[in-house]
């Protein structure tokens, strides 16, 4: 018997009727046949159009609403409203993935180093004067927060990286970086806040951020990316087991 013929197949997963309805609505939005602000037909009309039960239509609408695709208002005689696209659903799914068991801190840090440095390189080329002013303001907040405690410093640090992510002009980088950053901090923020040298760590981090800002202001993408990599490594590597640090050091320039 030929080798290919001996290969087994996976059982076919049955598709529930409400999933077909969800697919059709999402495809209509993707193709532009349905646009934000428009309304779906009433529940009764949808039952007729899809040729299915009211319970199936209601389950499909529940899934669409849960995914942020439509919004239904109690007592509204009109059909559900198509909502504009937001990154909320994507953020939720990425956060679930990032928090999954077996995803080591070293893996999260490698992802953050890559995303952060890429955002910096793009921001150095694409940033506007208004966005540069936002970064300046965040750095000033960080300077003030060094003596105000880790919580204040972390808030200012977040504002700085958000400004850079927006300046990169890439929504996916902004969302992914935010999720990874939040997850990393959720794992080790308590250790940083109560470290004996927490103020020294904040001052060193501030110095690295000032280097990043100077490179972005000068339009030097490679230097902005390099400074980001070293900043993140210096700040977080101590929390990663030595046996796992090779992946982090592989991203650093010689």
Can you give the pLDDT at residue 2?
A: 52
Q: What pLDDT score does 102 carry? A: 64
Q: In sequence order, what are the residues at sequence separation of 6 or more whose Cβ sits closer than 8 angstroms to the Cβ of residue 127?
A: 135, 167, 216
CB-CB contact of 181 with 189 (8 Å)? no
Residue pair 65/72 in contact (Cβ under 8 Å)? The answer is yes
Q: What is the pLDDT of residue 16?
A: 87
* Alpha helix ranges (H) inside the chain: 17-31, 43-50, 54-66, 88-98, 105-126, 129-145, 150-167, 171-193, 198-218, 221-236, 246-249
What 3-state class would DSSP assign to 28? helix
* Per-residue pLDDT at 1: 47
CB-CB contact of 153 with 142 (8 Å) = yes
Beta bridge partners of 21: none
Supply the pLDDT for residue 114: 94
pLDDT given at position 4: 55
- Greatest C-alpha distance within the chain: 75
Say what the pLDDT of residue 227 is. 93
User: What integer pLDDT is reported at residue 6 of this predicted model?
Assistant: 53
| Tokens 């001052």, residue located | 203
Q: 142: how many CB neighbours lie within 10 A of its CB? A: 23
The rounded distance, in Å, linking the Cα atoms of 228 and 157 is: 13
Q: Single out the residue of 126, 113, 120 nearest to residue 213, CA to CA.
A: 120
Pick the closest to residue 116 from 176, 159, 192, 202 (CA basis). 176
| Cβ pair 233, 253 in contact under 8 A | no
Nearest to 119 by CA among 224, 44, 26, 43: 224
| Residue 137 to residue 163: CA distance in whole angstroms | 10
Tokens of 195: 């470290």
Which pLDDT score is estimated for 202? 87
Tens digit of each residue's pLDDT, the chain (254 residues):
455 555 677 776 667 889 999 999 999 999 999 999 999 999 899 999 999 999 999 999 999 998 889 998 877 778 899 999 877 777 777 777 777 666 788 888 999 999 999 999 999 999 999 999 999 999 999 999 988 788 888 899 999 999 999 999 998 898 888 888 888 887 777 777 777 777 888 888 899 999 999 999 999 999 999 999 998 998 888 888 898 899 999 998 65
Spatial distance between the Cα atoms of 151 and 67, rounded to a whole number of angstroms: 32
Torsion of CA 71, 76, 80, 85, to 10 degrees: -30
């Amino acid at each position: 018997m030929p080798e290919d013929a001996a290969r087994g197949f996976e059982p076919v997963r049955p598709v529930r009727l409400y999933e077909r309805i969800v697919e059709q609505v999402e495809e209509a939005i993707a193709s532009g046949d349905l646009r934000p602000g428009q309304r779906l037909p009433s529940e009764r009309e949808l039952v007729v159009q899809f040729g299915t039960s009211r319970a199936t239509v209601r389950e499909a609408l529940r899934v669409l609403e849960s995914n942020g695709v439509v919004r239904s208002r109690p007592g509204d005689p009109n059909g559900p409203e198509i909502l504009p696209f937001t990154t909320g659903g994507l953020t939720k799914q990425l956060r679930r993935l990032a928090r999954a068991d077996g995803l080591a801190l070293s893996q999260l840090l490698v992802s953050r180093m890559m995303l952060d440095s890429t955002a910096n390189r793009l921001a150095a080329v694409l940033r506007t004067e208004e966005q540069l002013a936002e970064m300046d303001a965040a750095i000033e907040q960080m300077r003030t927060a060094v003596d105000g405690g880790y919580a204040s410093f972390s808030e200012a640090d977040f504002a700085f990286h958000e400004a850079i992510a927006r300046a990169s002009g890439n929504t996916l980088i902004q969302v992914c970086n935010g999720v990874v950053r939040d997850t990393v901090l959720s794992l080790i923020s308590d250790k940083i806040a109560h470290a004996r040298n927490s103020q020294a760590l904040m001052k060193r981090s501030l110095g690295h951020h000032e280097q990043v800002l100077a490179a972005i202001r000068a339009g030097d993408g490679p230097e902005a990316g390099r400074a980001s990599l070293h900043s993140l490594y210096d700040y977080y590597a101590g929390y990663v087991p030595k046996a796992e640090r090779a992946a982090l050091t592989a991203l650093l320039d010689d």
